[in-house]
Structure 1
């Protein structure tokens, strides 16, 4: 049985933000593109973190001002990644072990985002929206 690589099911294109952007700007970008996670990249386009909707739940609970806080202050770092040729099975096990729902796919640059939703669509044979 041939394993499916994550490159066949990952979400593309990936929204990226810089660590020094405000959380407010990142939130608007996420809302405008209807996504739940962004890859945080440095000036060399290397992934340095990930920011997800869960981070905004924590922000609200802390009653912090998103226009004052930066992405770097709330992102998960260091970021874990997979490569495009990682199998869906391997990536699924990694997400389960780590407790994450999103993981950037990196091949020199960030080329995709693999989510638990992508995996569920693949497993059930349903198309993504």
Structure 2
């Protein structure tokens, strides 16, 4: 299990948004696809941020107007990534150390999103196999 590459368990396809999109548009896209995070990418498809459901809690607490606020104003800009061949064990340790619940998987472009839910599902399946 620990040597499994994240490419085998990551969530794909990745929902991406541009930094200049409104929070409202991002929220609708997240709701429609039933996901809790989106990768924010620039015109070159490079990750510049991540927007998560946790960020929306802060938006609500700050009484921010989602139709008038851009993703860039609320996204997390500390973008840490892993590659598809990173092991689940390495990625899990990285998530624990950073305090994040989602991490983009990058192979040139963003090719997946690894979440704590993906890791838990993988762990549960390995335990019952």
Fold agreement, TM-score > 0.5: yes
Q: Provide the C-alpha distance between the structure 2 equivalents of 1:104 and 1:112, rounded to a whole number of angstroms.
A: 6
Q: What secondary structure is seen at the aligned counterpart in 1 of 2:51?
A: strand
Q: Provide the C-alpha distance between the structure 2 equivalents of 1:87 and 1:50, rounded to a whole number of angstroms.
A: 21
Question: Which blocks of at least 5 consecutive residues in structure 1 are unaligned?
Answer: none
Q: Provide the C-alpha distance between the structure 2 equivalents of 1:27 and 1:17, rounded to a whole number of angstroms.
A: 10
What's the CA shift for 1:22?
A: 0.3
Q: Structure 1 stretches (4+) deviating beyond 3 angstroms?
A: none
Q: Give the paired residue count.
A: 126
What's the CA shift for 1:2?
A: 7.0
Calculate the TM-score normalised by the size of structure 2: 0.95
CA RMSD of aligned residues (A): 1.2
Q: Provide the C-alpha distance between the structure 2 equivalents of 1:40 and 1:79, rounded to a whole number of angstroms.
A: 9
What do residues 43-71 of structure 1 show as CA deviations (whole Å, max 9, x unaligned)?
A: 00000000000000000000010001100
Q: Provide the C-alpha distance between the structure 2 equivalents of 1:116 and 1:78, rounded to a whole number of angstroms.
A: 18
Kindly report which structure 2 residues correspond to 1:19-58, keeping only aligned pairs within 5 A, or say none: 19-58=19-58
Question: Which blocks of at least 5 consecutive residues in structure 2 are unaligned?
Answer: none
Distance 1:2 1:59, change over 3 A: closer
2:106 matches 1:106: yes
Q: Provide the C-alpha distance between the structure 2 equivalents of 1:85 and 1:59, rounded to a whole number of angstroms.
A: 34
What do residues 61-102 of structure 1 show as CA deviations (whole Å, max 9, x unaligned)?
A: 000100011000000013110000000000000000000000
Q: Report the equivalent of 1:79.
A: 79
